């Protein structure tokens, strides 16, 4: 018998003996039990999410301003550090066509994996 069933059984006994005060108290007890059961369920859900997150964190590694799955040895699929660090969401970045960088489709964070190419040397007045 669960704790709520016990409280209901006690309520029925209180009805039989005709104690209104006891019935009121047992109704409060039942309400508290329901609150605690809901809180317990919420906490279990929160623990499960934290355990899942902890397991996920073991499978990724940070490098070059992105997260990568440890199994992705050739580094083909980068994930957004901003989204993961702030919202614990693993969002796959979209590569630029040049493959020099990528962009997060959710937060728009740009990530460059290579140094930007210098197309033109700046003109220096004081050389020569």
How far is C-alpha 20 from the geometric centre of its chain's CA atoms? 48
Least Å from the CB of residue 9 to Zn ion: 54
Least Å from the CB of residue 85 to Zn ion: 9
Least Å from the CB of residue 13 to Zn ion: 59
Q: List, in sequence order, the alpha helices (H) in 1-128.
A: 3-17, 20-58, 81-87
Residues engaged in binding Zn ion (CB under 5 A): 80, 82-83, 91, 104, 106-107, 109
Least Å from the CB of residue 64 to Zn ion: 15
Residue number with CB closer to Zn ion (8 or 113): 113
Distance CA 90, CA 69 (A): 10
Q: List, in sequence order, the alpha helices (H) in 59-113.
A: 81-87
Residue number with CB closer to Zn ion (7 or 78): 78
Residue number with CB closer to Zn ion (29 or 82): 82
Which residue, 110, 116, 43, 120, is CA-closest to 81? 110
Distance CA 115, CA 100 (A): 8
Residue number with CB closer to Zn ion (66 or 83): 83
């Amino acid at each position: 018998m669960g704790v709520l069933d016990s409280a209901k059984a006690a309520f029925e006994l209180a009805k039989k003996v005709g104690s209104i005060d006891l019935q009121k108290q047992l109704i409060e007890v039942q309400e508290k039990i329901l609150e605690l059961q809901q809180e317990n369920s919420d906490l279990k859900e929160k623990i499960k999410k934290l355990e899942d997150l902890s397991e996920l964190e073991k499978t990724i590694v940070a490098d070059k301003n992105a997260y990568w799955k440890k199994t992705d040895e050739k580094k083909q699929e980068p994930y957004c550090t901003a989204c993961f660090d702030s919202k614990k969401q693993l969002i796959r970045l979209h590569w630029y066509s040049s493959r020099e960088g990528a962009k997060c489709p959710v937060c728009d964070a740009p990530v460059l994996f290579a140094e930007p190419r210098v197309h033109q040397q700046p003109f220096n007045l004081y050389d020569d």
